[in-house]
Amino acid sequence: MPERPQPLIGLLLRLANQRWSTEMDAELDKLGVRDLTAAHARVIPFVPPEGVTVQALAAKANVRKQTMAHSVDQLVAAGLVERRPDPNDRRASRVVLTEAGLAIRPISRKAGGTVERAWADQLGEDRLEALRAALIELVGYESGI
C-alpha cells in the first residue's frame, strides 16, 4: 500500500485556526463576551494607544485597505473604535479604541490564555513554545502588536 502523503502545512494551519476560533468563542462566551466577529480580530489587536491609520492597520493585519476600512466601519457602528483627525495629516484620520474597545483586550487575553494553557496541557509547554517561535519567525511578527 502506498504511503499516505503528509498533510500540507496550510491545511493544518487552517484547521488549527478553526480550532482556536471555536475554543476562543467558547471562552469568551463564558466571560460574557458574545458576537465578536472577524472584524474584531482584524482591528482591535493592532490599534496602539495613540491610534493608527486604516492604511497602517491594513499593513499590520496583512489585509487589503478596503477590507480594513470595512472592518473599521463595523467597529465604529458597534462603538468599539472611533475615527479621529490625524494630528500629523489633516487629510487622514486615526482609528482609536473607545473605552468599550479597550475593555475587550484584557478579556480576550484572558480567554486566549485559557486556550493556550489547554493546548500546553495537550502538547507540552516546550512544544507549544516551539510552535509559537516558529510561527513568529514564519510570519515576521513584530512585537508591540
User: pLDDT tens-digit profile of 108-118?
Assistant: 889 999 999 99
- The three cell numbers locating residue 12: 493544518
Q: What are the φ/ψ torsions at residue 95 (nearest 5 degrees)?
A: -90, 125
Round to whole Å and give the CA distance between 129 and 136.
Answer: 10
> Model-level pTM?
0.79
Q: What are the φ/ψ torsions at residue 63 (nearest 5 degrees)?
A: -130, 165
CA atoms within 13 A on the CB side of 16: 13
Round to whole Å and give the CA distance between 61 and 72.
Answer: 12
pLDDT score for 136: 92
Residue range 76-98: average pLDDT? 91
Question: Residue 76 pLDDT more than 80?
Answer: yes
Contact criterion met (CB below 8 Å) for 47 and 98: no
pLDDT score for 38: 66
Per-residue pLDDT band for 105 (boundaries 50, 70, 90) equals confident
**What is the biggest distance separating any 2 CA atoms in the chain, rounded to whole angstroms?**
68
Round to whole Å and give the CA distance between 99 and 59.
Answer: 24
In angstroms, what is the C-alpha Rg of the chain? Answer: 18
Q: For 62-98, where are the alpha helices, taking DSSP H only?
A: 65-77
> With pLDDT > 70 as the criterion, what percentage of the chain qualifies?
97
pLDDT score for 42: 73
